[in-house]
Amino acid sequence: MKSVKSVRNLLRVRDLSPEEILHVFTRTEEIRTGPDLFRDRLSRGTVGLLFEKASTRTRLSFEAGVHQLGGDTVFMGGDSQLARGETIEDTARVMSAYLDMIVIRTFGHDRIERFARAATVPVLNGLTDGHHPCQALSDFSFIRKTTGSLKGTRMVYVGDGNNMAHSLMEGAALLGVHLNLATPPDYAPDPDVFRWTSETARKTGGSVSWVEDPMEAAKGSQVLYTDVWTSMGQESESSVREQAFRGYQINRDLLSVADPDAIVLHCLPAYRGKEITDDVLEGPHSRVFLQAENRLHLQKALMLFCEGKG
């Protein structure tokens, strides 16, 4: 399974070109409709999952995906030697010797960058504080499948300018999507990410913009997206954030200014009654659980791509 020439990392969405992203999306649909054709693509390969943060969808979709492609997984949680002070670089070198690919879920984005520089096998970002590329790529793949296109799609993100927002911004910029973000001023996306995505979007026919008012941002949107107000590691800020994010919610009022056929997405877990109301999450516009299912197919395609087998 190992091949030095084929090693590709995915640490953030912008690590892929628009053409590569669309190639992965095409392969995603082939896997969805004909999974048996790919069941041996990772035969005799072993993928390590190094997770320093809790996970449901990311862990399950990667583990199931690897097994369905004929490979095996090794899971490491908070009990690895990293927790006792072994360096990231030493861990990366040893894991590379044992494994064919590594998926990491960690805190600071610098940790995965250091790991990838020392590793000699593909490294995929299962989530960091800065980016969540697998989720965003899966979501754009799902939007493309659901609406029939991406270029020119009008999308709004309401909530925290967090890792999810950053990856959606990069994907929108590369794929020609018009993305409006509505966050409280003190929780806006990273200025460097905003600068890069704004410049890139001008070249692809898309746009990335920020406003404070969610109702203004959502006007005419075909896709409405939100995420939790308090991400992992920010629990101590929960009460302050709940005050700051009041009004930054996908609800019936926000839906009323969107496109009549708009779809609602959420990367989950959802805190009903906070960033999204129960009636919207369970309503006719919601595609949230089909969106979650798509992670399995997209991540299979992504692993094959990074291994040079897809």
All structural domains of the chain with their residue ranges: 4-132+295-306, 134-291
- Look at domain 134-291 and name its CATH class: alpha beta
Q: What is the pLDDT of residue 310?
A: 75
> Distances from the Cα of 73 to the Cαs of 154, 155, 184, in angstroms?
38, 36, 40
The Cβ-side half-sphere exposure at 10, using a 13 Å CA radius, reads: 31
The Cβ-side half-sphere exposure at 185, using a 13 Å CA radius, reads: 0
Mean pLDDT for back-to-back runs of 10 residues, the chain (310 residues): 66 98 98 95 97 96 98 93 93 98 97 98 98 98 96 98 98 98 97 98 98 98 97 89 96 98 98 98 98 98 93
CA distance 192 to 132: 16
| Residues with a known catalytic role | 105, 132, 135, 227, 267, 295
Q: Which two tokens stand for residue 95?
A: 């894991």
Q: What is the pLDDT of residue 162?
A: 98
> Distances from the Cα of 206 to the Cαs of 232, 235, 271, in angstroms?
31, 35, 31
Q: What is the pLDDT of residue 235?
A: 87
pTM over 0.75: yes
Q: What is the pLDDT of residue 5?
A: 45
Q: Do domains 4-132+295-306 and 134-291 have the same CATH topology?
A: yes
Q: What is the pLDDT of residue 4?
A: 46
- How close are the terminal C-alpha atoms of the chain, in Å? 13
Topology of domain 4-132+295-306, CATH: Rossmann fold (3.40.50)
